[in-house]
A and B are shown apart, each in its own frame.
Chain A
Amino acid sequence: MSPEPVAAADAVATVDASLAPERRDAVRYLLILLPAVLVLLALFVYPLLGIVERSAYTPKTGYTLEYYGQIWRVPVYLHVIGRTFRTSALVTLMCLALGYPLAYLLATLRPRAARLLMIVVVLPFFTSIIVRTYAWMVLLGRNGVVNQYLTRLGLTDTPLPLLYNQGGVLIGMTYVLLPYMVLTVYSVMRGIEPGLIRAAHGLGASRWQAFRRVSLPLSLPGIAGGTLLVFILSLGFFITPALMGGPSDVMIAMLIEREVEFTLNWSFASALAVILLVLTLIGFVGYNRIVRLERVFEAHD
């Protein structure tokens, strides 16, 4: 699949001789882009296609939709998919409710103060998910920190069940995903022209009116982008629900892992993975439209 280095050099030489300088540049840049693209094709796209193939083809039966049929027919699997959507929606709402005010506050602070407080958002963001999940297990466990305080304060006699249930999953996932919301909303709010808010005040708007009529509408792309991002990341979550949930809190990703590691039903696992993958990619296309990552590049052209 990959061209030999010699062939590449030849290609450059021929191109150099025959093309206008602009075209030559374009081809040169495409050539240095090639290694990264090829590596992703070989180690990312090809394995993903392998999953798609496995979900719909077995050497014994040939092409089959049997595994997708199983998901549709067996109620347990549809329940898991439904629960995954519900959990993701709740986590997204909680991230928005907690993340928006924080992003707003950070955006109204002086840059130096904002940068200092941003450390509090960024440190957990770059801490391993398994460490962050462990931290909440220590906090919420039967003999965990929260229960120790509740007992000491006399608020409860027996430890409350805070872990290994849906509440635990929601807290853990909200904690892990909150920085994504804060950072997305913040990046949009930082871009809002401060003159617009001053103008609103100058025209007699109260603080609340200025927020509702100027800041809020202009931050909508941040809300939409952050919401979509957190939602699609939640759909595929594995580590946190696996460690913090109970037997009835299984999500799609956990089902996939179980089928691969224990049931060894790779084809069925692949069918589940394809469904999750398609949902995620639809979300990603939407995200790209709203936050438009490529605009960053167009601005520099």
Chain B
Amino acid sequence: MGEEGQRTGPGAVAVAALAGAVLLFLIAPVVIILIVSFSGADYLRFPPPSLSLRWYQRFFGISAWRQAIGVSTQVALLTMVFATMLGFFASLALVRGRFRGKGAIYAFLLSPMIVPTIITAIGLYFFFARLKATGSILAMALGHTVLALPVVVIIIAATLQGFDVRFEQAALSLGASRFTALRRVTLPLIMPGVLSAALFAFLTSFDELLIPLFLSGVEVQTLTVRVWNSLLLEVDPTIAAVSSFLIGVTITVLGASALLRRHGETPGT
């Protein structure tokens, strides 16, 4: 919308103050958890009276937590591979193809984002229970693929829209086959978008609780399920360290995807 007149009336000041307060509301809880996780005190005091790494030592020292990191990582990596492969081809078809019902198919591919996850989770629970496949990493990854697919499609479709088709046409007119043009010209150029989609697919799975809550067994538990189980009992400061670890993963993904986007802006625009 751009800037308007130079006058700053009381109304504009009020809007800016309110918006500032909302920004504080959004960021304060995240920052407070990060700070509290380094506390040296026995319970959650803010600001912490002393700093230490004791909660991180507990988090990484207990084998059940370490196992949970392993399970979450395996599920998230599988999800990333499945969702990125499926989503890449689907996005290509949706952006380039000319066929009827495209809008409806797009809405269908995005619908797992809208349907309450609890419903998707119990549907998959009934489904995998009949196959006696609950408690497996693969089942959880397949469930997360459903949730991550919309994320991948949105990101890759947006990247493909920003892609200049003339690059591909040039390759075709120079005698490349459709497949070669896709592999040698289009794919390298939209790679930043594809990688960023893969990162967000990973994050979607790593952060998600409800699918593993229903599909995980007693022994195979993700990080989020462990957090859930311990929160039902008490607000244990170890969870502040686990939470900060999860926030760290989010920051890493956001940072990497911002770098990829900057890298991707140079060619093709």
A138 touching B240, Cβ below 8 Å = yes
A197 on the interface (CB 8 Å rule)? yes
Q: Is B15 an interface residue (CB 8 A)?
A: yes
Is the beta-carbon distance between B246 and A127 smaller than 8 angstroms? yes
Question: Cβ of B155 < 8 Å from any Cβ of A?
Answer: no
In contact, B44 and A294 (Cβ under 8 angstroms):
no
What band does the interface of chain A fall in when counting residues whose beta carbon is under 8 Å from B? Answer: 35 or more
A 243-272 to B, binary, CB cutoff 8 A, 1 in contact else 0 = 100000000010011001000001001100
For this complex, 24 residue pairs linking A to B, each with C-beta atoms less than 8 Å apart, are: A30-B99, A33-B93, A43-B146, A44-B112, A44-B146, A51-B119, A51-B123, A121-B23, A126-B253, A127-B246, A129-B207, A135-B33, A137-B235, A138-B36, A138-B240, A192-B1, A243-B231, A256-B119, A256-B122, A260-B122, A270-B122, A276-B119, A280-B115, A294-B107
Interface string of B20-41 (1 = CB under 8 A from A): 0011011101101100100000
Q: For B224, what are the chain A residues with a Cβ–Cβ distance below 8 Å?
A: 128, 130
- Would you call B11 and A208 a contact (CB within 8 A)? yes
Chain B interface SS verdict (over half): helix
The verdict on B159 contacting chain A, using a C-beta distance below 8 Å, is no
Q: Does B251 contact A (CB under 8 A)?
A: yes
Query: Contacts A105-B19, A297-B102: A236 and B26 contacting too (C-beta < 8 A)?
Result: no
Interface size bracket, B side:
35 or more
**Using Cβ atoms and an 8 Å threshold, which residues of chain A touch B112?**
40, 44
* Residues B243 and A135 in contact, CB atoms below 8 Å apart: yes
For the complex of A and B, 3 pairs with smallest distance between CB atoms: A236-B116, A29-B97, A294-B103
Contact flag A47-B102 (CB < 8 Å), given A130-B224, A280-B114, A293-B107: no
The interface residues of chain A lying within 8 Å CB-to-CB of B200 are: 126
**CB-based contact B227/A130 at 8 Å:** yes
In chain B, positions 63-98 with a C-beta closer than 8 Å to chain A are 82, 85-87, 89-90, 92-98
Judging by beta carbons under 8 Å apart, are B86 and A29 in contact? Answer: no
Q: When chains A and B are docked, how far (Å) is the Cα of A39 from the Cα of B145? A: 9
Stretch of A2-10, A61-69, A74-82, A142-150 that contacts chain B: A142-150
Q: From residue A120, how far is it (CB to closest CB) to chain B in Å?
A: 5
Residues of B within 8 A of A194 (CB): 1-2
Contact with A along B226-240 (1 / 0, CB 8 A): 011001100100011
User: Which segment of B54-62, B124-132, B166-174, B190-198 sits at the interface?
Assistant: B124-132
B187 at the interface (CB under 8 A from A): no
- Contact B209–A143 (Cβ < 8 Å): no
Whether A197 pairs with B2 at a CB distance below 8 angstroms is: yes
Interfacial chain A residues near B93, Cβ < 8 Å: 29-30, 32-33
Which of A37, A44, A287 makes the CB contact (< 8 A) with B90?
A37
Asked if B53 CB lies within 8 Å of chain A CBs, one says: no
A187 to B93, CA, bound (A): 25
